[in-house]
Every structure is written in C-alpha cells, then in structure tokens.
Amino acid sequence: MLRQIEGSRAVAETVACCRPEVVCAYPISPQTHIIEAVGAMVKSGALSPCEFINVESEFAAMSVSIGASAAGARAYTATASQGLLFMMEAVYNASGLGLPIVMTLANRTIGGPINIWNDHSDAMSVRDTGWIQLFAETNQEAVDLHVQAFVIAERLSLPVMVCMDGFILTHAIEGIDVPEQDAVDAFLPPFEPRQVLDPDDPVSIGAMVGPEAFEEVRYLAYVRQLEALDLIPAVAADFARGFGRSSGGLVRSYRTEDADTVVVALGSVLGTIKDAVDARRDAGERVGVVGITTFRPFPVQAVANALAGAQRVVVVEKAFSVGFGGVLSTDVALATQRSESSLYTVVAGLGGRPITRRHLETMLAAAGEDQLEVLTFLDLDTGVVEREQARMAAATTRPGPTAEFVLRDLALRQNGEVEP
Amino acid sequence: MTTQPVRFFQVGSFAVGNRLLPSGDRTVQSDADRTNSLDAGHRACQGCGEALGARYAIDAAMRATAGRLLVVNATGCLEVFSTPYPQTSWRIAWLHSLFGNAPAVATGMAAAMKVKGKTDVRVVGQAGDGGTVDIGFGCLSGMFERNDDVLFICYDNEAYMNTGVQRSGATPPAARTATTEAVGSQPGNVFGQGKDLPRLAMAHDIPYVATATVADLHDLEGKVERAMQIRGARYLHILVPCPLGWGSASSDTIRVARLAQETGLFPVFEAEGGQVTAVSPIRHRTPVEEYLSLQGRYAHLFGEHPSLDVIARIQAIADHNIARYGLDPGEHDDAGPEGGRP
Amino acid sequence: MFQIRIHGRGGQGVVTAAEVLSMAAFDGGRHAQAFPSFGSERMGAPVVAFCRIDERPIRTREPVMEPDALIVQDITLIHQVDLLAGLAPEAYVLLNTSKPLDALGLGDLSRRFQSDRLCTCPATEFALDQTGRPMPNAALVAGFAALTGQISLTAVEKALRQRFAGPIGERNVAAANAAFRHVTRSLAPRDPATRPVPTQAHAAAD
C-alpha cells in the first residue's frame, strides 16, 4: 500500500515481511530507525517467530548472524560506517562461508575526522569482501531491493548488502509502496539452506584451507558471484511481474540515447542528477545518466553497453581512494577500456556535503566544453584549502591538527572576524 | 545397623577406567559407545592437553544432550589441528568462524534453535584462553550478560600456542613466553592481577560457572553434565597443559595438570548464580616448586641460583587461592577424594 | 514544486511538523518529501526540517535552499540562525509568536515580505491550551495550511490523527483548528481595525 512513511520505517516493515528468524543489531546512526522498528515489531509479536538480539558490538552482530545462518535461520542485520569496519572480519567470514545473510548498509562516511553524514566510503571499503552489493536510488527501491536481496542471497548462498544513503534516504519521509505480506510470501520462499549445522547430519564448516586448495575455493566464490549477474536481472523481472513496478537489476539508463556525455553514479544522488540532466537537455545538451544498482558483482558488460555511445563518461562518486582518486571510476574504466570515450571522476558529497543541481549543471556544462579536469572535487572550497596549506607550510614546529584549524578558519570567516 | 562406608581412593579423580564403580557412575570416556567427538587422526602435538580436554568435554556434552549438539570453535590450535582441509576430526555438527567471535556465533546458533522450536538441540562454544579472555572477551561478556543458552568452554593453556607461544591475558606471572622472554631483571611474564575469567564470569551472575582440569576426568565430565542440565549462559574453564608451550614432557600432561590443582595455583570449583557452591579440596598440598620445576617456561627460576623470591611470590598466589576458595584439606575432613563425591 | 523550510529547536517536533505536512500533502493526492537537516539529536539545539510538495514524483535530494515558505517554530532563533536565507520577497513566512513583530525588533520583515504572506501565530499558546505541552508543530502546520492553501485543514487533521493516536491526536487537532482560525482571521479582513494585534504592524506597513 502506498503510504507517506519514513524510509527506515518502510525498510523495517519490508524486512519484517521477509520473515527473518534472527535479527541482531548494534546501534549506529543513521541505521538506528530501521533496527528500532524491527525490534519493536518482534517485541509486540507482529514479527514472529523471530529472535531479536541486542548485541554488544557490530562484530557480534555479524557473528550472531553467522551462527544463526549456519544453523539454518534466515538472518538479518543493519549497520553503517564505523560499524561496518568494526565487523569487517566477520563480513569477510560470512561471505567466505557462503552464508545468505542480508544486511542493510545505511551509507555513512568513515572517520576520522569523525562525521556521521552520508557518503559511500563505507560501502567502497567492503567491495572486495565477497558480498553482493546493491544500491538503492530511492526509498521505494530500497524497500524493493530488500525483498529481492533475500531471494538472491538464498538462491546463491551468498550474503547481500542493500546500500541506501544514510539520512538522505533513511530519514526521508515520502510516498512508499510497502509490500504486502502475501505478495512477499509468494515471491520469497522459506529458507532452504545449502549447508546447515544439523545434529542428525553433522558436518564441519569453516575448516582450515591451505595453499593446495585456497585458490580453487576462492575461484569458485568468484564464479558464484558472477552467477549473480544472471540471477539479479531475473529476480528483478520476477519482482516486476509480482509487484507491478520495476526495481533492482544491474544498471539503469536515463536519457542516454544519443548522449555525448553520460554521468555514472550510485544511489540517491541519481535523482538530483536526473533533474540536472533534464535541465541540460532543455538547454540543448546531449547528456544522460547511468545508475549502477548492482555494484558487486560489477556488471562490466552491462556498464559497457550502457556507455557504448558516450564520448565522455563522468563518474560522480561519493568516495575516493586517498592517494589515487575514484573508486567506482576504476571499475567503469575497465568496462569502457575498449571505447574511445574520455573518463572523468567527480568526487562529490563527501561527509554529507549537499550535491546540488546547480553544482551538477555547472560541472556538466564544463564537461560538455571539455573543460572538466580528469579528477574534480565538486564544491571544493579552495580558499580554505590554500589557507591551511599556507599555515602548515609556515609552521616551523608542531603545526597542529588540520581538521580543527579548518573549522576554526571557517568559523572566523563566518563570524566576520577575518575578511572572507 | 551401622555400616562403614568404603572409600575407593583409587577411583574417581585419579582413575580413568573406573572399573570398580557401578556402570552408571563410570566416565563417559570409559564407555565404548562414546561419541569420540574429536576423533583420532588429528594433528595435535603429543600429550596435548587441549585435545584431551576437548574430547572429554564434548563427549560428555554429547552424552548429556543425547547427541543433540552444535559446536562452534574459535580460531586456535584446536581448530587448526582438528580440521586440516579436506579432513575433519569432528564427528559432530561443528563450525569455525573467527578467533574472537565464537561466543556470538554460539548466540546466533542458540537463537536459531529457539526460533525453530528445536530446544532439544544445545549449543557449545569453545576457545583457547586467547579466544576467551582476550580477543573473544567482548563477545563472551555480551553472551553472559544476555544469558544466552550457551555453554562456553575455555581450554586454558595460558598462552597463544597456535602462533608460537606468545603471552595472553591468562599467562601466569614469571612464565616465559615468546613475548615475555626469560631475560632482564624480571624475566618471564609480569606479576599482575591476571585475567581471572571464572571470577569475571561469576560477576555476570550467570547460572553456572566451573573450573576443571584434564587430570580429573570424573570431575570434568560431571561439570559438563551439570552445565547441560541448566539453561542460560554457562562457563567452564578447563586447564589444559601444553607440552610445547610449557616445556613439559608430553607424558607429564596429566601430572602437571594435577599439580596445578594440588598446589592451589589453579582452584577447581563450581559456582551457581555468582556464588561458589563446591570446591575440589587439595588432597596432597604440594609446594609450587614441584609444579614449576617440571616446566621449561619456569626454568629461569631454578638452576644454580634459584629465584627464591619469585617462587615465594608464586607460592603466595597459591596460598591466597587456597584461602579464598577454602581448598585446604584440613577444612574438608569428611570429604572423599573428590571433595564430596563418593 | 513548493518547498518549505521549518526552523526550531530539538524537542519541539520540527521533524514531525515536516512529516505531518508531507502526510497532509500526500493525502491531497500530491507527491511530498519531508526530511530533517541531519545531525546529532540534542534537545534545544537549532534544528531544520524540509518539505517538498509537487504534482510530479520528486527526484531531487538536495537540501531546500530557496524555500517558498518558511515556518519558524522558535522565534528566539532569529538572532542565531540566518532564518531568511534564500527566501524570495514572495515567499510565505509563518512565525510562532504572540508578540507583534515590532516588539520583536522584526518590523522590517513586513517591508521585505508581502502582507498576505507574512503571518504570526501564537502556536505555543494554542498547544499549551489544548495539549498542555509547548509543542507548536501541529498548530503551525495548520497555520501553514491557512496561509498558503497548499494543504487542507482536513488533511492536516487526518495526518495528526494518524501520527498521534487517541486523545493526543484529538488535542493536536484542536490546537491545529485554533491556529487555522487565527491565521485565517489574520489574513482575511483588509480593514486594519478588525485585524488581530500581531498583524496590525504589517497592515500599517503596507
């Protein structure tokens, strides 16, 4: 039913419709509203049978999920940012053991400096863990991806992470069609584990694997992830038939036909980019955008096809590899290596910095005139940067912490104590 | 009619076979139909106390649960020597996840069994002292605090043996390890408070906490059985000598374990709801030198110029334990060889 | 697209105001998007929430920088936050106060904004009267409905009942009605003599 509802609440209700049997979580902004709502549904009996476990850390949250999943229960958890890093060892373990856990990642940056706001640093930090990573453009898609995630996870016996932008989606209240229980039951069959701890049929899981077999075991994990490239579109198609709307899949193109310049991005910023694309189209420029829904496994062929006609590919990403540049860009570069297109990286929205249509339009205009740098930091306050660099260069001993001086510089200027 | 109870001092604590006991009182290990949970062919060292302790404990747990058992193992010697790919020595449903998360994985398994209504299936988590008192302590304390239905067993060999004998939070004072070498003015591990996990477990007020050694099979099995009769978080701390790390003879594993108890350095007791309810009194109170001198990790305390002051400090620890837990045999005149057992 | 920015302090239900506003718009068959200015939750700290209303699906995720309407739940913020940032002269402005603007030193507002789009409303008093709690949000959402016509009072009532179950919902509805009447009265008559005290200053300025 279409309701005006908070994204987190909608995700929680949807997850409950997926009948998870063990849910555990450790609070971290901006994931809290999701697990609070799931917890309340378990406590009231609305979600039953389900064990909701308040754990002492994210490391425990993923570990409890591992134990529950290995024992045959459908397991769900949610985290963000530092929490994801704190559970990192178990994140690898869950995929290494092939356990179909579903986790919401309410995307938030990683400190320091500490910052609770949105970007994709957390998701990028786990791109090599062996989890399937799906990115939601809207809250509707976030909701729909969770239903699909359980199907994908359990068919492949691999964990799936649904990434939704922290605060921007999790805390936004908008019209969302939250799936009905009957529809979810018809779409998502009961969990039949591929491997399970059973006293009647005892197996050992998690044995030590030496050099003689490790490469083969990892190769098989790679092959299984690639299977997802076929399964994900199939599940999305099934979903469209069952729910009457299109969500998920590998990539989505918007006004890319005849486009010279195509933007590539992940997550909720695609909405703002589409508005910018419309505006530039109205101004006569041939621009389009490709949204990547499935980030891992990376759909190389689908991305290559989507970008086939582009002369310029501009990857707008909310994360970067310090000391190098774009993260998503390197994947896109591989997908477009056979084309003649030029590739640009635009790092934007770090630590919650708003990505505005105005900034995007300015950037697109520059790209259209081939004036865009290969690596651009959108909306970067170069004045602050230059003053801090000068201060550091001038200091003879112990120049002090950069972040604190940048904040001080901004505050002084805002208060008019220094000429802006 | 007045009867004179007969005491079989050779049965119970010091004997494995127990042929003099009625069949129902014999150890699980003496039963030809035991599970052999940790089967032959594993890669443990000769005289490994941990292999022994794990087989005793898990066989007893299998007996107590009629085979309805799931086990999770932390990373460590036990995990490595029991499952060299593609082989496994475990004849039970067994999972290894990570070094520090076994208690949380066990919580997840117990939750899965509860939600599926399989309450007859019980869960045991097991780890060495590193996986218990150090890297796994956060998860363990959380499991205790929530009172999850898990028996957690620590096989304590007092250092990180799997990685080559480095100090852990359970390493005793003066012991030489690879990271507390027997050099300098204070050779070996420092004298500190140590991390006394049985007492930390008791501080969580969980239903059952017990300690045991591989030297007293009857006692160890009895504690596992008792633990499996109780629901909620339970903790069993078993001292398992490591010939490699302790520098003791492989043939001395049981002897060294027994001396740890008889000296008072390793108090053997049971606690329910945070209160000590039973102790195994010391039968032959033994000076700590006898225990220490069997182990290469204390070799620097002996020789031409023995460190009498250090040995005295260790003796003081033993004496403190004896006083704290009432382990002095004089306080238990009526007790049998096992502190109250027949 | 119609965009609203709401200013207040943590604990005053600023985010709930945006939520209720969006629910009322949604009930009116339009697309709506409400979201807070994200930050750590602290009582008393300045808080901003936003709402967008449109006939078409709303895709943008940027903050509202040039709002069509401004709601100020706590007038004491006027000296701490740039409340008027991005506001065009034709923007709607609804301020929670029982005092005349001149008494607040805000007389120039009536020169900057159109008189039929600038209004004060003693929302905290209405809330205290009806609910016993100084939560001005429900009253202000209704005041916004009266001021802009973007949402109906019926939709506001429905949203309040949906958001606050039972008697609390009804009390908020009562506060909302009081505010709706107040704002309607403030705006309707063009004869300065019959206008309530707080808006006389604007009338004079016209």
Q: What is the pLDDT of residues B287-306, one digit of tens each?
A: 999 999 999 999 999 999 99
Burial of A215 (0-12, 13-18, 19+ CB in 10 A): exposed
Q: Does residue B123 have a pLDDT over 60?
A: yes
A175 CB within 8 Å of a chain C CB: yes
For residue B329, the model assigns a pLDDT of 73
pLDDT at C201: 38
Domain B12-332: CATH architecture, name and number where available:
3-Layer(aba) Sandwich (3.40)
Rounded CA-CA distance A370/A32 in Å is 43
| Span A217-254, pLDDT tens digits | 999 999 999 999 999 999 999 999 999 999 999 999 99
- What gap in Å lies between CA A16 and CA A22, rounded to an integer? 11
Using a CB–CB cutoff of 8 Å, tell me whether B56 touches chain A: no
Q: Is the pLDDT of residue A16 over 70?
A: yes
Chain A neighbors of B115, CB-CB under 8 A: 21-22, 49-51, 73
Split at pLDDT 50, 70, 90, the class of B337 is very low
Please return the burial class of A419, using the count of CB atoms within 10 Å of its CB with bins 0-12, 13-18 and 19+.
Answer: exposed
Q: Is the pLDDT of residue A136 over 70?
A: yes
pLDDT of residue C189: 61
Q: Nearest CA to CA, how far is A230 from chain C (Å)?
A: 29
The whole-angstrom distance between A79's CA and the closest CA on chain C is 17
Chain A CB contacts of C35 under 8 Å are 167-168, 171-173
Mean residue pLDDT across chain B:
92
What is the residue extent of each domain of chain B?
12-332
User: What are the tokens at A339?
Assistant: 């084309």
Would you say residue C58 has pLDDT above 90? yes
Residues B123 and B108: their CA atoms lie apart, in Å, by 10
Per-residue pLDDT, averaged over B145-172, amounts to 97
B83 interaction partners in chain A (CB closer than 8 Å): 204, 206-208
**Among C19, C35, C38, beta carbon nearest to A117:** C38
Residues of A whose CB is below 8 A from B162: none
pLDDT tens, C134-163?
999 999 999 999 999 999 999 999 999 999
Helices (H), A307-356: 328-335
Q: List the strands of the sheet with A251-254, edge to edge.
A: A251-254, A287-292, A261-265, A312-317, A342-347, A375-377
Render pLDDT for A257-303 as a digit per residue (tens, 0 to 9): 999 999 999 999 999 999 999 999 999 999 999 999 999 999 999 99
Name the neighbours of C, counting chains with at least 3 Cβ pairs within 8 A: A
pLDDT (average), residues A161-170: 98
Q: Measure A107 CA to nearest chain C CA, in Å.
A: 13
User: pLDDT digits over A313-344, tens only?
Assistant: 999 999 999 999 999 999 999 999 999 999 99
In this prediction the ipTM stands at: 0.94
What residue in A sits closest to C30 (Cα-Cα)?
A: A175
Domain ranges of chain C: 2-205
CB B25 within 8 A of CB B18: yes
Quick one: pLDDT at residue C199? 38
What's the pLDDT at B22? 80
What does pLDDT average to over chain A? 96
Answer whether A touches C (≥3 Cβ pairs < 8 Å).
yes
Give the three-state DSSP class for A226: helix
For residue C150, count CB atoms less than 10 angstroms from its CB and return exposed for 0-12, middle for 13-18, buried for 19 or more: buried
The 3-state DSSP class for residue B286 equals: coil
* CATH 3.40.50.1460 is the classification of domain C2-205: no
B47-95 per-position pLDDT tens digit: 999 999 999 999 999 999 999 999 999 999 999 999 987 889 999 999 9
Which chain B residue has its CA at the smallest distance from A26's CA?
B142
pLDDT in tens, A96-108: 999 999 999 999 9
How far, in Å, are A230, B121, B239 from residue B248 at the CA level?
59, 39, 14
**Contact indicator for A269, A163 with CB cutoff of 8 Å:** no
Contact B97 A97 (CB under 8 A): yes
Q: What is the pLDDT of residue B25?
A: 82
Distance from CA of A264 to the nearest CA of C (A): 16
**B328 CB contacts (<8 Å, ≥6 apart)?**
B281, B282, B285, B322
State the Cα–Cα distance between residues B134 and B175, nearest whole angstrom.
18
Q: Is A274 on the interface with C (CB under 8 A)?
A: yes
* Residues 6 or more apart in contact with residue B127 via CB below 8 angstroms: B73, B74, B76, B78, B102, B136, B152, B153, B154, B155
Measured between CA atoms, how close is C109 to chain A, in angstroms?
23
Q: Which of residues 59-88 of B touch A (CB under 8 A)?
A: 67-70, 72-73, 79-80, 83-88
Nearest C-alpha in B relative to A197 = B93
Residue B277 pLDDT > 90:
yes
Per-residue pLDDT tens for B129-152? 999 999 999 999 999 999 999 999
Alpha helices (H) along chain B:
49-64, 77-82, 102-115, 129, 137-146, 197-203, 217-229, 243-246, 253-263, 288-292, 308-325
Residue A113 one-letter amino acid: P
Q: For C62, which of A29, A172, A355 is closest by C-beta distance?
A: A355
Contact status of B138 with chain A (Cβ, < 8 Å): yes
DSSP state of B317: H
| Reported confidence tier of residue B258, pLDDT bands at 50, 70, 90 | very high
Nearest to A67 among B69, B86, B106 (CB): B106
What's the pLDDT at B2?
A: 61
Task: Say what the pLDDT of residue B336 is.
Answer: 43
Chain C residues near residue A267 by CB distance under 8 angstroms:
none
